[in-house]
Amino acid sequence: MSMIDLIIQILGIIELFSAAGINFLLTMVTYLKYKQKKVRATFIFILVFFLVGFALTCIGINRIFLSTAMRYVLQNDYFGLAFHNIAIIASLVVVLLLDAFSFEMTYPTHVKELTVVSAILMGLLGIILMIFQPTIGISGEIVYADFLLLLILPLLGPTLLIPVIVFFYYAIVIRKTARPKAIRSAVMGIATGTIAMAYVFELVGIVGLITIFVRLCFVAFSILMYVCISMPVWFQNAIGWESDA
């Protein structure tokens, strides 16, 4: 193992725990805001921030157990796979919550029906991922069989893309009648797009320098979504938000 590979592994782990810490902090801040105005959409994101932080913590621990040095010491990948599975379950719940959040923010009258569809897809995906466990590559990356990826993508793809598509579609529909709301919706679309990309990369297993850049997407997602939910004054001014917008 080269020194460069070791440095990349260490930086990737530090990045995961840092991103997790940011999400736990946003969980507390969002909860305080929820206590002031008990909006259901805000409560959804309390859960999202917490579960993203929890999943990233599990991935970080997973990376430690599956790092080259730790695998050499333990001679066993059990704990690495265990934390991977926990992270998978938490991540699937996050995807479901993001779908529900996008429905709540755009088409609230159909939240229940649309969320049930997403829940069914996520449930099937979770069962498949728990039954067909991945193998561990030489560099400690998670590797799923090709046939399994063909099963995963048709289930995961739509649910990951739902909030992205919904937010951008909603932004286009209302861009002339409610421009500030359209901008905020577009920013949410960008945010959910970044975490969708990062999640897919983590799921299929990535190694090397690209991991450093991909994991920054988790931080970008959290910050962008928090800004859209908390609506600080500078953001309201930037998009021309009005109190009755």
Q: What is the pLDDT of residues 73-98, one digit of tens each?
A: 666 777 888 898 999 899 899 889 88
Pairing type for strands 135-136 and 142-143 reads antiparallel
Rounded alpha-carbon distances, angstroms, from residue 120 to 149, 153, 159: 18, 15, 10
Decide if 244 is inside a domain: no
What is the model's pLDDT at position 245?
46
pLDDT of residue 27: 92
Tell me the CB-side half-sphere exposure of residue 242, using CA atoms within 13 A: 4
Q: Is residue 156 part of a domain?
A: yes
pTM above threshold 0.85: no
- % of the chain residues with pLDDT over 90: 11
Whether residue 218 lies inside any domain: the answer is: yes
**Window from 31-40, 68-77, 122-131, 213-222 with minimum mean pLDDT:** 68-77
Write the pLDDT tens digit of every residue in 193-203. Answer: 898 888 777 76
Return all residues near 235 (Cβ < 8 A) that are at least 6 apart: 227, 228, 241
DSSP 178-240: -HHHHHHHHHHHHHHHHHHHHHHHHHH---STHHHHHTHHHHHHHHHHHHHHH--HHHHHHHT
Mean pLDDT of 131-159: 78
CA–CA separation, 162 vs 184, rounded Å? 17
Name the least confident of 28-37, 72-81, 97-106: 72-81
The domain in which residue 132 lies consists of 3-239
Over range 186-195, report the average pLDDT: 90
Q: CATH code at 90?
A: 1.20.1070.10
Domain assignment present for 220: yes
User: Structural domain tally of the chain?
Assistant: 1
Rounded average pLDDT over 152-158: 78
**Could you tell me which residue, 50 or 213, shows the higher pLDDT?**
50
Give SS3 for 143: strand
The helix or strand, by DSSP H or E, that contains position 43, with its residue range, turns out to be: helix 40-65
> Is 31 within the bounds of a domain?
yes
pLDDT for res 169: 87
Asked whether the predicted pLDDT for residue 60 surpasses 80, the reply is yes
